[in-house]
């Protein structure tokens, strides 16, 4: 662990962070759990001149119900997500997915905000936030804006987050009772990114799929929201043919690169397979069967 030289800041309040970001711009990097940034710094692939550690700011932590939304503070750890009764009861896909991220040591540090904001297509939370139609609250000295997860990502490590902005919290519309959800991930080993993964939420009414959302992890430059895949099951009884059509749509949306996880053909096929499995599990949860 031999990073380059950097200035270390540990502000106590969000306004201090925003002031530093306003002043330092892209010379600064925000440090939350550090599990993406620190490995890059270790290899000197990232050499930020300033590091702004937000771990002393309690206001950025915690999971709470706020009217019709569930709010997750950006510095909330994956371990806290797993331990949240609120999420287990109302948004189980998040704790279930968090349990598939890395290992306990990593989850004790790694944050939801870092996972969402970093723009790494291998991260798991972005696809889930897309499926849940979550919004990100972005603050700067100039004010606050909300951006839908589905509009946030632009490319590998590229997002709409400006250099002077901080992701402070994630707002998730509370899923209605009876919405089934599932995150299916295939990986090589604990701690690895997905070969492919799929997040599915769906609601059934009168034996028909009333609503659905499907998003994919690590099979493109960003997490991929596939309305075509969701459309393939909406309005259907979610029978084998519909599931097959959704899987085909997911495969059509997927554009993975070949890497040591597998060939393009394999990773594309797994995008379909994970979509298929996530729909089946979400359906069984939605119908209580």
- Separation of alpha carbons 247 and 238, rounded Å: 12
170, 245 in Cβ contact below 8 A? no
Site map for other proteins, 92-111, x if CB under 8 A?
-----------x--------
- Strands 166-173 and 158-159 turn out to be unpaired
Q: Which is nearer to other proteins, 74 or 282 (CB)?
A: 282
- State yes or no: residue 273 binds other proteins (CB under 8 A): yes
> Considering the complex, what minimum distance in angstroms separates the CB of residue 68 from other proteins?
38
- Separation of alpha carbons 6 and 27, rounded Å: 10
- State yes or no: residue 16 binds other proteins (CB under 8 A): no
- State yes or no: residue 64 binds other proteins (CB under 8 A): no
Which residues have a Cβ under 8 Å from the Cβ of 74 and sit 6 or more positions away?
32, 54, 60, 111, 112, 113, 114, 116, 117, 166, 167, 168, 169, 170
Among 2, 67, 68, 289, binds other proteins (CB under 8 A): 2
- Separation of alpha carbons 124 and 113, rounded Å: 12
- Separation of alpha carbons 151 and 130, rounded Å: 9
> Considering the complex, what minimum distance in angstroms separates the CB of residue 5 from other proteins?
8
> Considering the complex, what minimum distance in angstroms separates the CB of residue 271 from other proteins?
12
Q: Which is nearer to other proteins, 20 or 46 (CB)?
A: 46
Q: Which is nearer to other proteins, 166 or 200 (CB)?
A: 200
- Strands 50-53 and 28-31 turn out to be parallel
- State yes or no: residue 45 binds other proteins (CB under 8 A): no
How many residues touch other proteins under the rule CB under 8 A: the total is 24
Q: Which is nearer to other proteins, 222 or 273 (CB)?
A: 273
Provide the 3-class DSSP secondary structure of residue 207. Answer: coil
- State yes or no: residue 4 binds other proteins (CB under 8 A): yes
Q: Which is nearer to other proteins, 4 or 235 (CB)?
A: 4
Q: Which is nearer to other proteins, 47 or 163 (CB)?
A: 47
- State yes or no: residue 6 binds other proteins (CB under 8 A): no
Nearest to 193 by CA among 171, 172, 218, 169: 218
**Which residues from 174-213 bind other proteins, rule CB under 8 A?**
186, 188-192, 195
- State yes or no: residue 266 binds other proteins (CB under 8 A): yes
- Separation of alpha carbons 209 and 83, rounded Å: 31
Strand partners, 196: 186
CA dihedral 64, 67, 70, 72 (to 10 degrees): -50
> Considering the complex, what minimum distance in angstroms separates the CB of residue 164 from other proteins?
29
List contacts with other proteins (CB under 8 A). 2-5, 43-44, 103, 186, 188-192, 195, 260-263, 265-267, 269-270, 273
């Amino acid at each position: 662990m031999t990073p380059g030289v950097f200035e270390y800041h540990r502000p106590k309040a969000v306004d201090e962070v925003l002031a530093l970001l306003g002043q330092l711009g892209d010379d600064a990097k925000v440090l939350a759990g550090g599990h993406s940034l620190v490995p890059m710094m270790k290899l000197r692939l990232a050499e930020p001149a300033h590091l702004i550690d937000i771990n002393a700011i309690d206001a950025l932590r915690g999971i709470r119900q706020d009217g019709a939304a569930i709010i997750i503070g950006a510095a909330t750890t994956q371990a806290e997500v797993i331990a949240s009764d609120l999420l287990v009861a109302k948004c189980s896909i998040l704790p279930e997915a968090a349990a598939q991220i890395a290992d306990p040591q990593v989850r004790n540090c790694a944050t939801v905000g870092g996972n969402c904001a970093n723009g790494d297509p291998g991260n798991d939370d972005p696809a889930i936030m897309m499926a849940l139609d979550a919004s990100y609250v972005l603050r700067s000295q100039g004010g606050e804006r909300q951006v839908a997860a589905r509009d946030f990502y632009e490319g590998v490590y590229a997002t709409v987050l400006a250099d002077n902005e901080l992701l402070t919290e994630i707002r998730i519309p509370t899923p209605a009772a009876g919405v089934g959800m599932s995150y299916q991930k295939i990986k090589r080993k604990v701690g690895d990114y997905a070969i492919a993964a799929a997040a599915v939420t769906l609601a059934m009414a009168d034996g028909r799929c009333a609503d659905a959302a499907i998003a994919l992890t690590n099979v493109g430059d960003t997490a991929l929201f596939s309305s075509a895949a969701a459309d393939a099951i909406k309005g259907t009884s979610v029978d084998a043919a519909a599931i097959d059509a959704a899987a085909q749509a997911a495969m059509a949306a997927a554009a993975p690169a070949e890497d040591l996880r597998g060939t393009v053909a394999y990773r594309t096929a797994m995008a379909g397979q994970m979509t298929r499995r996530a729909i089946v599990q979400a359906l069984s949860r939605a119908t209580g069967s």
